Amino acid sequence: MSQSVLALVATGGTIAMQHDPSKGGNVPALDGADLLKLVGGPETAVAVELLDWERLPAVQRGPDGMWDLRSRLAELAEDPMTVGIVVTHGTDTMAEMAYLTRRTVPPRCPIVFTGAMRTSSDPAWDGPRNLHDAVAVATARESQQRGAMVVFAGLILDGRHAVKMHTGAIDAFGAPHATPLGQVGADGVVFVDRPHSAPCVAAKDCMARVPLIPLALGDDGALLDLARPTGDGVVIAAYGRGNVPPKALPAIERWLAEGKPVVLASQCPAGEVGPDYAFEGGGATVLALGVVPAGRRNAAQARLELILSLSAGVPYAVEG
């Protein structure tokens, strides 16, 4: 690169789909150049470098594909001529990709993930607004040192906290364990606070085998036992503040006895687990076994954090 550039990385998702009557639904249709033609091109003072990474629905990208994308983003972010990066991405796993990037790529260069809940075949296509907002955030001077973010429906969310909250609403993303970093509106890009430093995890990949197991009423731990032989660690989605059915406790102990980490998250959309309840199966008794609390993360984020910590050979970070 010989001049300052904004890297636009197109990876697929709903923003790049159109309705196909013969198939009865939305399918991948647009590459990066097609997307820019429909949107009208980003308005920015720096040159735009388009990278057509792939054209996949987000759920079709596995751990190896996520790590490959993360590594390419890290390379782009390391180039001093890159002022910002925008990634168009499917919404189903956008939060997880943003989390992975935020936790493993140094935050100097803003990496902004965005997408759409409607396709260009729909009259209320939200792709153009989200893409233009993402470009504005990626090129804003105030975005430096903030690392990976999600920009959606005018909200700016830290990649560590962004969560898809609704299956179909235009404003599908929020931050149940934090507050938005800012917003994009009539006044442009407005952040509510200064960047907060967070150390990266020195992970080498994200291939550790970590099942995420929600516990149900009367659960006897059978699924925990089935997953244990091939699991490197496990995340449990418990009730409330970390309460589990008592019959599941022996299965949890068997994971710990094999030296495999167990992280306790909640099925609730917001809040943390904690040692409030001391009855059999209560959060206090579960944590007393040596289980690690998820911290300010939902179960999916906790799973990624455990995967990264296993890759890096470090303990699960409750704060990070």
Q: Active-site residue numbers?
A: 14
Q: Hey, what amino acid is at 49?
A: E
Q: b/e for 277-297, b at 16 or more Cβ within 10 A?
A: beeebbbbbbbeeebbbbbbb
- Cα–Cα distance measured from residue 19 to residue 119, given in angstroms and rounded to the nearest whole number: 7
Q: How far is the CA of 69 from the CAs of 64, 79, 160, in angstroms? A: 9, 16, 17
Contact 84, 112 (CB under 8 A): yes
- Cα–Cα distance measured from residue 42 to residue 214, given in angstroms and rounded to the nearest whole number: 42
Element housing 99 (H / E):
helix 94-104
